[in-house]
Amino acid sequence: MQNQAFNQDSADIDLGVKYTKNDWSEITINDRKSAAGNGSASGHASVLSAHNIDYWVKVSGGCCKSADKQILTNISAVFKQGMSAIMGPTGSGKSSFLDVLAGRKDPAGVRGHLLLDGKPVPENFKCMVGYVVQDDVVMGTLTVRENFSFSAALRLPSSVSTGERNERVRQVIKDLGLTRCADTKVGNEFIRGVSGGERKRCNIGMELIISPPVLFLDEPTTGLDANTANTVLMFLRKLSRKGRTIIFSIHQPRFSIYRLFDNLLLLSQGVTVYHGPAREALDFFKTQGFICQEHNNPPDFFLDVINGDLRALADDDQTVDDDLETEPVSQHDMLVEGFKKSQWNQRLRSEAEAISNEFESNRCNKGDKHEKIEYATSFGRQVGVLAWRSVRNLIRNPETAGITIGSSLLFSIIISAIFWQLGGSTDRDVKDREGVLFFLIMNQMFFNMSAVEIFINERKLFMHENMSGFYRVSSYFIVKLIFDIIPLRMVPAIITSCIVYFSVDLRPGADNFFLFMLCLFMTCLTAACLCFLLSSLIRVFSVAQLTLALSYVLMMLFGGFLIQFDSIGDWLSWLQYLSIFKYGMTALYIIEFKDRQFCNGTTCFDGNLSLAQSDMDFESTWDFWQNYVALAGLSVVFLILCYIQLRRMKKTT
Ligand SMILES: Nc1ncnc2c1ncn2[C@@H]1O[C@H](COP(=O)(O)OP(=O)(O)OP(=O)(O)O)[C@@H](O)[C@H]1O
Is 555's pLDDT higher than 50? yes
Q: Helices marked H in 123-222 — which ranges?
A: 144-155, 162-175, 196-208
Exposed / middle / buried, residue 505 (Cβ in 10 Å: 0-12, 13-18, 19+): middle
Is 165's pLDDT higher than 80? yes
**Residue 88 beta carbon below 6 angstroms from any ligand 1 atom:** yes
Per residue in 122-151, pLDDT tens?
Answer: 877 878 889 998 888 899 889 999 999 999
Rounded mean pLDDT, 313-342: 65
* pLDDT value at residue 24: 25
Distance CA 146, CA 129 (A): 21
Distance CA 371, CA 320 (A): 58
- Choosing from 68, 92, 98, 104 the residue with most ligand 1 atoms within 8 A of its CB, the one to mutate for a pocket test is 92
Per residue in 492-541, pLDDT tens?
Answer: 889 999 999 999 989 999 999 999 999 999 999 999 999 999 999 998 88
- What is the 100 CA–ligand 1 centroid distance (Å)? 12
Atom 7, ligand 1: residue with shortest CA distance: 57
* CATH 3.40.50.300 boundaries in the chain: 2-129+212-361
**Residue 94 beta carbon below 6 angstroms from any ligand 1 atom:** yes
Q: Which helix (H) or strand (E) holds 53?
A: strand 48-62
- Choosing from 59, 70, 95, 248 the residue with most ligand 1 atoms within 8 A of its CB, the one to mutate for a pocket test is 95
* pLDDT value at residue 324: 47
Q: Which helix (H) or strand (E) holds 608?
A: helix 607-613
- What is the 97 CA–ligand 1 centroid distance (Å)? 10
- What is the 393 CA–ligand 1 centroid distance (Å)? 35
Q: What is the mean pLDDT of the chain?
A: 82
**Residue 58 beta carbon below 6 angstroms from any ligand 1 atom:** no
**Residue 75 beta carbon below 6 angstroms from any ligand 1 atom:** no
Q: How is the beta sheet containing 271-277 ordered, strand by strand?
A: 130-132, 214-218, 245-249, 82-87, 263-268, 271-277
Q: Are 247 and 84 in contact (CB under 8 A)?
A: yes
**Residue 92 beta carbon below 6 angstroms from any ligand 1 atom:** yes
* DSSP-assigned letters across all residues of 210-261: T--SEEEEESTTTT--HHHHHHHHHHHHHHHHTT-EEEEE-SS--HHHHTT-
Rounded mean pLDDT, 33-51: 56
Helix (H, G, I), strand (E, B) or coil at 562: coil
* DSSP-assigned letters across all residues of 330-380: HHHHHHHHHHHHSHHHHHHHHHHHHHHHHHHHTTT-TT-SPPPP--SS-HH
* pLDDT value at residue 151: 94
Higher-confidence position of 62 and 438: 438
Per residue in 149-163, pLDDT tens?
Answer: 999 999 998 888 999
**Residue 398 beta carbon below 6 angstroms from any ligand 1 atom:** no
Helices and strands, number each (H, E), in the chain: 27, 12
**Residue 103 beta carbon below 6 angstroms from any ligand 1 atom:** no
Distance CA 19, CA 31 (A): 11
Distance CA 272, CA 345 (A): 10
* Rg value, the chain, Cα: 32
Per residue in 527-542, pLDDT tens?
Answer: 999 999 999 999 888 8
CATH code of 2-129+212-361, in short, is: 3.40.50.300
- What is the 298 CA–ligand 1 centroid distance (Å)? 24
